[in-house]
A and B are shown apart, each in its own frame.
Chain A
Amino acid sequence: MAGADGDDSLYPIAVLIDELRNEDVQLRLNSIKKLSTIALALGVERTRTELLPFLTDTIYDEDEVLLALAEQLGNFTMLVGGPEYVHCLLPPLESLATVEETVVRDKAVESLRKISQEHSPVDLEVHFEPLVKRLASGDWFTSRTSACGLFSVCYPRVSSTVKAEIRQHFRTLCSDDTPMVRRAAASKLGEFAKVLELDYVKSDIISLFTALASDEQDSVRLLAVEACVSIATLLPQEDLETLVMPTLRQAAEDKSWRVRYMVADKFSELQKAVGPEITKNDLVPAFQNLLKDCEAEVRAAAANKVKEFCENLPEDNREQIIMTHILPCVKELVSDTNQHVKSALASVIMGLSTILGKDNTIEHLLPLFLAQLKDECPEVRLNIISNLDCVNEVIGIRQLSQSLLPAIVELAEDAKWRVRLAIIEYMPLLAGQLGVEFFDEKLNTLCMAWLIDHVYAIREAATCNLMKLVEKFGAEWAQNTIVPKVLGMANDPNYLHRMTTLFCINALSEACGQEITTKQMLPVVLKMSNDQVANVRFNVAKSLQKIGPVLDSNTLQTEVKPVLEKLASDSDMDVKYFAQEAISVLALA
């Protein structure tokens, strides 16, 4: 304890350890989170000889503290003196890898995986691999579970004798007594297969895979499905049929819906892994069955994959497969009893039109879209509307509007405001493609009706929609068709509608230009400054601020200024505030 200037030995380990032992969990936790600082204060040698043994011995603590410790130790290599000494970190991490709490254990395994990379090949065999072996043959299931995650990181870098041992340990854990361990092994099977030599994949992994895939517990079997993707990717095409397919077929027809769900959920990955031939012969019928499954969860998962599956079919006879095998099932799903299934389908079904082309879309898909647009469940309708653009690309807006317009008009008055909102967002696109005449005839009334919707979000969107329409059709059109209607609402008995007039003016003034704004809109705004509702009056002030830049300075001085000054002495506090704000922004003071 020589140096008074912050020397290495200034802090005796006892003081630091006292902090790590503090009675208050929160303080212990804080200290553990600053473990690197403590290690730094001690220096590498004392960290190795004093701090780490202390940590290893006092591993019994709150899980939260242990979690922090497990995380810290993964970044400790430099603090113990670099790769040469990294194995010093193994004892405390080994203990942490055996605790009950899953979060702690997983973190310890993560840190072990991390520092395994920093071991030299020799250290890996002398220190790391024995640890894996000890964990793999531990008494309590927790250590065996942890071991499963460590095989794949050391396997590639050890000698062939040790490799054989590792394979043996993994085999043992795959048939462990405890389902928890088998689940851990099954979930690491794919990862382990990737680091194995191809011969061992064929001889070892396949038999393990087959066994796990027919485990008595469905929670184990479903994990084998995940592994199936990795394994199939590793094997040459000609071996897939004999080594993987029997198991996969069995999984697709498993008696537990959880396993079938997993197959449905991983279907695109499986499809890519097994290649086009097997897809045609095996996966197509399997997919049909999943789409017809008795459990809604499975059907929904499969419905979600319809587009991806079709997209990835081999192009030479993609259309034929879809038309004869997939589409009939899809048709049935449109009238499924479960809304999640229909909604899952609605979110992808529009994507089929790109794959099938114009004629098929018109003949076969449009009726399905129409049916889903009229579905009783709002989520289904919403999903269809939100994906209209992909159909638009294929069949053109005219075709689309002819067939879908009646349904769209109906949805414009849907009881769910989110559906109405989705329709509004489509209006500018439709208007642009359909042209002025068509729009005036069929859609204009709708657009105006939204302005008096009872949901604010719809009125707001309708206002914004008007602005976009004016940008498309021009000021003259606005003057004739929209402005009169908007201004008419200024006399509405409902103050919310009177405010909508103001909001519309805010949005339209710029697009309409100075003349229309000055001659038609401004008088209405100024008149509304006498409204009896304060909210309308302060919105007048806000509107004036907004449209001010469009007006000329003469109008501002002679017409706007007096009104704002009057509002600035209003009895209502908010009206005063916004009037003053407008005066200062428009520089009228």
Chain B
Amino acid sequence: MVIHGDSSAPLHRAMSSAAATSPSVDKVDGFSRKSVRKAKQKRSQSSSQFRSQGKPIELTPLPLLKDVPASEQPELFLKKLQQCCTIFDFMDTLSDLKMKEYKRSTLNELVDYVTVSRGYLTEQAYPEVVKMVSHNIFRTLPPSDSNEFDPEEDEPTLEASWPHLQLVYEFFIRFLESQEFQPSIAKKYIDQKFVLQLLELFDSEDPRERDYLKTVLHRIYGKFLGLRAFIRKQINNIFLRFVYETEHFNGVAELLEILGSIINGFALPLKAEHKQFLVKVLIPLHTVRSLSLFHAQLAYCIVQFLEKDPTLTEPVIRGLLKFWPKTCSQKEVMFLGELEEILDVIEPTQFVKIQEPLFKQISRCVSSPHFQVAERALYYWNNEYIMSLIEENSSVILPIMFTSLYRISKEHWNPAIVALVYNVLKAFMEMNSTLFDELTATYKSDRQREKKKEKDREELWKKLQDLELKRGLRSDGIIPT
């Protein structure tokens, strides 16, 4: 599990550089990056929950926990939790400054307290902790600043109330990790509804928040056995909605990261539910436009599955072939990368089952006019394990690959690709020289046969068309039997 808080560092760097170069809005230079042009936008956002009450908020300061006798501490702890349920408006940077600071220091104190203290977790404390956390973190996420928010190009909108929110998350994680924490009591309060709201927060645009959420959900999944199936099902729903309805959800990478570790712990043999998840949810996730944002985590999950149960290789590879990108070369490169990861762990018996469709696709990639796609596919021949698999099955693979390779060696515009192809052809020649010579000899006649077939098909369709016309004429639109 990744430690939270790490991923925000590069973000700040990106932000300050964008602010430094921000040009005036009136003179838009069409050639600058969108993110630079849009840098003038406000970058923080309040949560949608806050409705101004108009009047200032007053909290009565309480003594520090360490300043009261141990016997009074649980009571004071509860009072402090209740105070922290108060929500402040962070979009108004001037209001309630004193009270905001007071809540911040109280939250800090609570964080320390649950980390080091013993015997504070009375049964009454559980509902109060959950209530405080719920009050602070559960909120309707605000609309995204721009309609066509592009996570790769645009700056994420940061949560304005982060100074408080971060401490609440910190506190909650310490609470869940505390030695005194008893899931059997907590499960009354951390229930399905709680988890559902937690999952919705993964759509937050703020990467810092998603990082904390990842840790929280991971802890809950670990400690509450009764919620596990429910969590998996709801993640399913989020993904299905993401793939088939909205194509928009900010926390896909984080959820996949959690799933990666969950899959790791699946017992064998895999349940039907898990296999269905692989085939019906994880594989279709490859179709989403923003794949690059979570591809690494997705590929990790897929490979985890295959390491658990190699018989899933065939459906997985067939699924990838079905969703193979048709117009997006960057995605094609990603697919090829993932496929290599899969081939790295494939069992030879599984390889035989899918080699034909697989190499038909690879043959198409090799002849892609986009040199990065062709190059990525040709790199497979540098992989020793894949090479050994190809060698064992050269009688099947060589005929599939030969035509493309032979043609590219003569036609491709990119000299680097041509050089790579020569190497591959050479390798094939060494592998199976008899078959190679045979294919070279029949190359021409094969092409001619293909052309003839093409012509026959045209003929057939022409005849069909004539027939359609004739029948249309004969029967005034009424089809004869």
Give A contacts to B, CB under 8 Å: 6, 10-11, 15, 19, 23, 27, 34, 36-38, 40-41, 43-45, 62, 78-79, 81, 100-102, 140-141, 178-180, 183, 216, 218-219, 255-258, 294-297, 415
Given A78-B479, A180-B241, A257-B142, also A19-B457 (CB < 8 A): yes
Most buried by B among A36, A62, A256, A294: A294
- A34 proximity list for chain B (CB < 8 A): 461, 464
Q: Do A255 and B481 touch (CB < 8 A)?
A: no
Q: Do B465 and A257 touch (CB < 8 A)?
A: no
Given contacts A179-B237, A179-B241, A256-B140, 13 further A-B contacts (CB under 8 A): A6-B463, A40-B479, A41-B467, A100-B280, A102-B245, A180-B237, A257-B140, A257-B142, A257-B143, A294-B48, A294-B51, A295-B142, A295-B143
Q: Do A102 and B479 touch (CB < 8 A)?
A: no
Q: Do B52 and A294 touch (CB < 8 A)?
A: yes
Tell whether B193 is near chain A: CB-to-CB under 8 Å. Answer: yes
- B468 proximity list for chain A (CB < 8 A): 36-37, 40-41
Select B481's contact among A15, A23, A44, beta carbons within 8 Å: A44
A-B pairs, 8 with minimum CB distance: A256-B140, A297-B143, A102-B244, A37-B464, A257-B48, A37-B468, A294-B51, A44-B481
Given A180-B240, A180-B241, A216-B193, also A11-B140 (CB < 8 A): no
Chain A residue nearest to B237 in the complex (CB): A179
- A79 proximity list for chain B (CB < 8 A): 479
- B480 proximity list for chain A (CB < 8 A): 43
Interface string of B309-342 (1 = CB under 8 A from A): 0000000000000100000000000000000000
Interface string of B132-153 (1 = CB under 8 A from A): 0000000010110000000000
Nearest Cβ on chain B to A184's Cβ, whole angstroms: 10
Chain A residue nearest to B241 in the complex (CB): A180
Tell whether B471 is near chain A: CB-to-CB under 8 Å. Answer: yes
Interface string of B224-250 (1 = CB under 8 A from A): 000000000000010011001100000
Nearest Cβ on chain B to A258's Cβ, whole angstroms: 8
16 A-B pairs with C-beta separation under 8 A: A6-B467, A11-B464, A34-B461, A34-B464, A37-B467, A41-B467, A43-B480, A62-B322, A100-B284, A102-B244, A102-B245, A141-B240, A179-B241, A257-B140, A294-B52, A295-B48
Interface string of B438-481 (1 = CB under 8 A from A): 00000000000000000001001101111110110000001111
Chain B residue nearest to A183 in the complex (CB): B245
- B478 proximity list for chain A (CB < 8 A): 78
Q: Do A38 and B245 touch (CB < 8 A)?
A: no
Q: In the bound complex, what is the Cα–Cα distance between A232 and B478 (angstroms)?
A: 45
Q: Do A6 and B470 touch (CB < 8 A)?
A: yes
Given A78-B479, A102-B244, also A41-B464 (CB < 8 A): yes
- B196 proximity list for chain A (CB < 8 A): 216
Q: In the bound complex, what is the Cα–Cα distance between A140 and B465 (angstroms)?
A: 41
Could you tell me how many residues of chain B have their Cβ less than 8 Å away from some Cβ of chain A? Answer: 35
Select B280's contact among A19, A44, A140, A179, beta carbons within 8 Å: A140
Q: Do A19 and B466 touch (CB < 8 A)?
A: no
Interface string of B114-146 (1 = CB under 8 A from A): 000000000000000000000000001011000
Given A34-B464, A216-B196, A257-B48, also A45-B479 (CB < 8 A): no
- B479 proximity list for chain A (CB < 8 A): 40, 44, 78-79
Interface string of B271-299 (1 = CB under 8 A from A): 00000000010001000000000000000
Nearest Cβ on chain B to A450's Cβ, whole angstroms: 19
Select A255's contact among B49, B237, B460, B471, beta carbons within 8 Å: B49
Q: Do B140 and A37 touch (CB < 8 A)?
A: no
Nearest Cβ on chain B to A30's Cβ, whole angstroms: 8
- B240 proximity list for chain A (CB < 8 A): 141, 180
Q: In the bound complex, what is the Cα–Cα distance between A23 and B360 (angstroms)?
A: 10
Q: In the bound complex, what is the Cα–Cα distance between A256 and B197 (angstroms)?
A: 13
Tell whether B26 is near chain A: CB-to-CB under 8 Å. Answer: yes
- A178 proximity list for chain B (CB < 8 A): 237
Tell whether B413 is near chain A: CB-to-CB under 8 Å. Answer: no
Tell whether B385 is near chain A: CB-to-CB under 8 Å. Answer: no
Tell whether B266 is near chain A: CB-to-CB under 8 Å. Answer: no
Q: In the bound complex, what is the Cα–Cα distance between A41 and B193 (angstroms)?
A: 59
Q: In the bound complex, what is the Cα–Cα distance between A19 and B280 (angstroms)?
A: 29
Q: In the bound complex, what is the Cα–Cα distance between A180 and B246 (angstroms)?
A: 11
- B466 proximity list for chain A (CB < 8 A): 6
Select A294's contact among B50, B464, B467, beta carbons within 8 Å: B50
Chain A residue nearest to B470 in the complex (CB): A6
Nearest Cβ on chain A to B386's Cβ, whole angstroms: 24
Most buried by B among A100, A140, A141, A258: A100
Chain B residue nearest to A105 in the complex (CB): B244
Chain B residue nearest to A31 in the complex (CB): B461
Q: Do A15 and B143 touch (CB < 8 A)?
A: no
Q: In the bound complex, what is the Cα–Cα distance between A62 and B143 (angstroms)?
A: 35
- B463 proximity list for chain A (CB < 8 A): 6, 10-11
Chain A residue nearest to B360 in the complex (CB): A23
- B465 proximity list for chain A (CB < 8 A): 37
Given A294-B52, A295-B142, also A15-B460 (CB < 8 A): yes
Chain A residue nearest to B465 in the complex (CB): A37
Nearest Cβ on chain B to A28's Cβ, whole angstroms: 12
- A256 proximity list for chain B (CB < 8 A): 48, 140
Given A62-B322, A102-B244, also A45-B481 (CB < 8 A): yes
Q: In the bound complex, what is the Cα–Cα distance between A258 and B142 (angstroms)?
A: 9
Given A37-B468, A102-B244, A180-B240, also A19-B460 (CB < 8 A): yes
- B464 proximity list for chain A (CB < 8 A): 11, 34, 37-38, 40-41
- A180 proximity list for chain B (CB < 8 A): 237, 240-241, 244-245
Given A81-B481, A102-B244, also A218-B140 (CB < 8 A): yes
- B280 proximity list for chain A (CB < 8 A): 100, 140
Q: In the bound complex, what is the Cα–Cα distance between A15 and B479 (angstroms)?
A: 22
Q: In the bound complex, what is the Cα–Cα distance between A36 and B240 (angstroms)?
A: 34
Q: In the bound complex, what is the Cα–Cα distance between A44 and B237 (angstroms)?
A: 43
Q: In the bound complex, what is the Cα–Cα distance between A140 and B468 (angstroms)?
A: 40
Chain A residue nearest to B145 in the complex (CB): A296
Q: In the bound complex, what is the Cα–Cα distance between A140 and B284 (angstroms)?
A: 15
Given A179-B237, A256-B140, also A415-B26 (CB < 8 A): yes
Q: In the bound complex, what is the Cα–Cα distance between A183 and B360 (angstroms)?
A: 40
Chain A residue nearest to B479 in the complex (CB): A78
Nearest Cβ on chain B to A79's Cβ, whole angstroms: 6
- A140 proximity list for chain B (CB < 8 A): 280
Within 8 A of A (CB), among B42-101: 48-52
Q: In the bound complex, what is the Cα–Cα distance between A345 and B11 (angstroms)?
A: 36
